[in-house]
Amino acid sequence: MFRMPAEWMPHERCWMIWPRRQEVWGERMAATKRAYAAVAQTIARFEPVTMIASPDDLAEAERLCGKGIELLPLQVDDSWARDSAPCFVHDGQGLGAVCFEFNAWGGKYHPYDKDAAMGAALAGHLGTSMIAGGIVAEGGAISVDGQGTALTTESCLLNPNRNPGKSKAEIEAALKATLGLEKVIWLPGDVNETETDGHVDGIAVFAGPGRVIIETPADPELSYADALNANREVLRASRDALGREFEIIELGAVEGVDAQGADFSTCYVNFYIANGAIIAPSHGVPEDETARDVLAKAFPDREIVQVPVSDIAIGGGGIHCITQQQPRVSAAHS
């Protein structure tokens, strides 16, 4: 049976996509590209990285990323690999690429036809099985433990801009069938988050079997504090596919950077689990050290490496949003 391994299982490589959509980054586009390159270079210390770039951006990507980063020319619209690249699964023998239908987070950006074709293009490049996801979804909407449980959010996958006419049960059935799941835990999400409609990877992520890191409000008076607290309460009342209660690890959001824009991603939970390391966001503020300590305790066997993300966060996402892991087939179920 194909199953999506947990992110902490060994990776074959990390996939990223070079920034392309000018309307997202505006005057910070040059700084954003340097920030993407810095993330790629950091991850490459621990596992191979392939940067997908539109053919006319290839030379620039090569120059800024430097040695050690592989490049793959493909036509792209945007630069969020977590969402337009496939979710990789495998059955212990071979790799599969689950390609959910992509509609640019409910039609928020146009055009998106190249990104909608990304999953099939990447599966073709790898020569691996392509599995139709059957629903509109993005990788950032899903966090799995590799043991049959997934976290997702109602505010995203039940949003009418994703799957109109499909019931919650139908969406859940599609996730179970394609990702090898036994149980889907639906967190409320965040209806006020306007870029992704409340992706789970900006709220809560698995840190191990039965362990979840969840964002808590930096300030209980902030507008989204009620939403974050509601997510935590649902998680506390839930059990995973094996019947375990969750160990909940709280990680506060960063304060004092909201002035950078309404879409600015302030969460620390949007990190990437690399082979032997956690690649985590930093903002140059005191909370960075607190976040580092929480992650070090949660992942005592991994090096914690923080990378400045303000020039990425301005676009509404973070390190996890711009990466997608490809599991190592021989180790994904060990």
pLDDT, tens digit (0-9, with 9 covering 90-100), for 304-316: 999 999 999 999 9
How far is the C-alpha of 172 from the C-alpha of 176, rounded, in Å?
6
* Distance from the Cα of residue 316 to its chain's centroid: 12
HEC string of 64-123 equals: HHCCCCEEEECCCCCCCHHHHCCEEEECCCCEEEEEEECCHHHHCCCCCHHHHCHHHHHH
Question: For 179, phi and psi rounded to 5 degrees?
Answer: -105, 0
Token pair, residue 172, equals 């859940």
Question: For 309, phi and psi rounded to 5 degrees?
Answer: -125, 5
Q: What is the pLDDT of residue 334?
A: 37
Average confidence score pLDDT of the chain: 95
Query: Which is nearest to 236 in space by CA: 267, 214, 268?
Result: 214
H helices of 93-247, in order, are 104-107, 113-116, 118-126, 154-157, 168-179, 225-236
Averaged pLDDT for residues 109-136:
97
How far is the C-alpha of 216 from the C-alpha of 229, rounded, in Å?
7
pLDDT, tens digit (0-9, with 9 covering 90-100), for 134-180: 999 999 999 999 999 999 999 999 999 999 999 999 999 999 999 99
- Are the beta carbons of 277 and 304 closer than 8 angstroms? yes
Residue 60 pLDDT grade (very low, low, confident, very high; cuts 50, 70, 90): very high
At residue 73, does pLDDT exceed 70?
Answer: yes
Q: What is the pLDDT of residue 260?
A: 73
Q: What is the pLDDT of residue 46?
A: 98
How far is the C-alpha of 211 from the C-alpha of 248, rounded, in Å?
6
How far is the C-alpha of 105 from the C-alpha of 187, rounded, in Å?
18
Q: What is the pLDDT of residue 332?
A: 43
How far is the C-alpha of 238 from the C-alpha of 134, rounded, in Å?
26
| Burial classification of residue 227, based on how many CB atoms lie within 10 Å of its CB (0-12 exposed, 13-18 middle, 19 or more buried) | buried
Based on the residue annotation, tell me whether 99 is a catalytic residue of this protein: no
Averaged pLDDT for residues 284-302:
96
Kindly name the residue from 14, 156, 267, 321 that is annotated as catalytic.
Answer: 321
At residue 257, does pLDDT exceed 70?
Answer: no
Peptide bond into 300 cis (omega under 30): no
- Are the beta carbons of 53 and 63 closer than 8 angstroms? no
Averaged pLDDT for residues 316-327:
98
- Are the beta carbons of 285 and 260 closer than 8 angstroms? no
At residue 331, does pLDDT exceed 60?
Answer: no
At residue 258, does pLDDT exceed 60?
Answer: no
